[in-house]
Structure 1
Amino acid sequence: MAANIDLKKIRSLGDKNADDIIHKLVEQEGIHFLRQLMPFLSDYQNLSFQNQPQILQDFLLLNASFPAFYDKKNLIRATDFYRENQQNIGLILGLYSLPYCYLGADGAKVLYFSERIRNDTYKRLLETGNFLKAVMNYDNWSEQNIFVICLKVRLLHASIRYFTLNSNRWDMSWGFPINQEDMLGTNLAFSLIVLRGMEKLGYQIDKSYENAYLNTWNVIGFLLGIISENMPNNYLETVKIDKKIAQRQFKQSIESQQLTASLMQVIRSFAPNNITADLLQEQSRFLLGEKYAKMLGIAETNIPNTLLKVYNTTAVLMSKIF
């Protein structure tokens, strides 16, 4: 049963196959090539590996198949659900899912040290949004682009692991950088936490769509290098694993707070005025809850809870009409 997995054990595991490929690539092409490769790995428009080293092309061929639990009907339901709720899911991603990931203090250190998010938050947020749109686009599955998209992320994670482990800044007491526990937790942030966010905003989700969304993200997780035996088999197991990870990993840290501050700064910059910016920030506090919002250092605003409730209720009603 996946809910009984030893999270302490898998915290010491990365993604061996992808990590081995990156080591071999550095041996063949040099460290400078790996640095030059990273922008390509972050680009979900250019999906051709034709001009890349043969070792990467071979790795793609070896990882271009679905796991046994892939279900096409679930995929159709999941991508339909995303398309119908894309705006809300995008909002939840920025205000809830990403800061939820930052609560894992030890895992957040990888993001902090790499400076990819802290120093260029807007670009990285855009990359994350583009990834979400890409994996939730049914055409990318039917045309088998999904294998390239996920492999790019998998190789990007392995590259970050390589640089992190060779930086002399990493303490293994924090676990392996971008380890199996953190990867699993991130996957839940993009699946379970999105569904939870929808419910907190007042939307009712049919169980068939709920299960389909979780199943599809399990398939995505598999393609990203998460060990399939560690993934939850149903909604109850998903909730239990999320709770266990939160109890083990969520705590206040400088790294988590600085990552969140950078994220909030970018999100507030999207707003046309300070009132809207405060509304977005208060929405994040509402979704996370007071305890987690305080841990991440998200300040209170002048937006009263009653106004936020009215806003959310109105948004749900309008969505039903239009």
Structure 2
Amino acid sequence: MRHFLKDDDLTRDEQLALIASARRLKADRFARQPLAGPKSVAVIFEKESTRTRMSFQVGIAELGGNPVVVDAKNSHLSRGETIEDTARVLSRYVDAIVIRTFGDDRINALAKASGVPVVNALTDGYHPCQLLADLLTIAEEFGEVAGRTIAYVGDAANNMSHSYLLAGALAGAHVRVAGPSGYRPDPAIVERANVLAAASGGSAVVAADAPAAVDGADVVATDTWVSMGQNDREQRLSDLEDYRLDAALLSRAARHAIVLHCLPAHRGEEITDEVIDGPRSRVFDQAENRLHAQKALLAWLMNPDMESTFPDGAAT
């Protein structure tokens, strides 16, 4: 049994196979139903969601499974039942658990007590399903991810920055993240990304500023500056002002560069309308790719024999 709690829970070969499988599923969405039976998947939301909720619910159904969507506010989780007890019970009902939650300690406790695979649909520390979708989007654009330079600018202390460092380094990309003082990634994650990069031929650096990160990059990404539960909005907007992804900053990237944003976007704050709606934006392709990447992930976690799940070559 495997869990997917953070980006480097995969090997590089597994990451490549999942991206390949996602491309095959995207090309023919209804060709395979490896969760037919159906297998049931609990999808728990302790944080609000649009894309995560829809992409998992639709994706599980398209795989032939039964999505059981749980709003934590309407469950006993909101009344203090432990995450471990929840895991032990759900493991007797369903074949996998997906959760969008807060601290990583919470999902780690869930996974430790669970008898079925657990998937991180977002925690405070990581957003690994989003990065599978982002790598799929980059692979569609450039053929492969390895060797490409990915720049992430803005709040680099958040889950997206951490996942770009880990997933990008695992894929053999050159990842640069940039944020002002107080908004820089966990040094332990940068260190882990460098270990992964040493094996893959990639790199992972914390750039001096936004222009240094973006110069010559193939991919430029950002994320909202004010996430759920953060109450220091005005201070954050002031601190991050120089990291806005606008036309001037994007002009420093390669001419063929694409723009990514995991959404929802606060237009005019971390990204301008001109950029998110411009010809280099792949933001809505990226959003769609959550569906296809997560379908590939669930199919594999619930049937680790990738060649059996996708016998027509999707894993190659």
Q: Specify the TM-score bucket, using the shorter chain as the normaliser.
A: under 0.3
Length-normalised TM-score, structure 1: 0.25
Length-normalised TM-score, structure 2: 0.26
Q: Which has the higher helix share?
A: 1
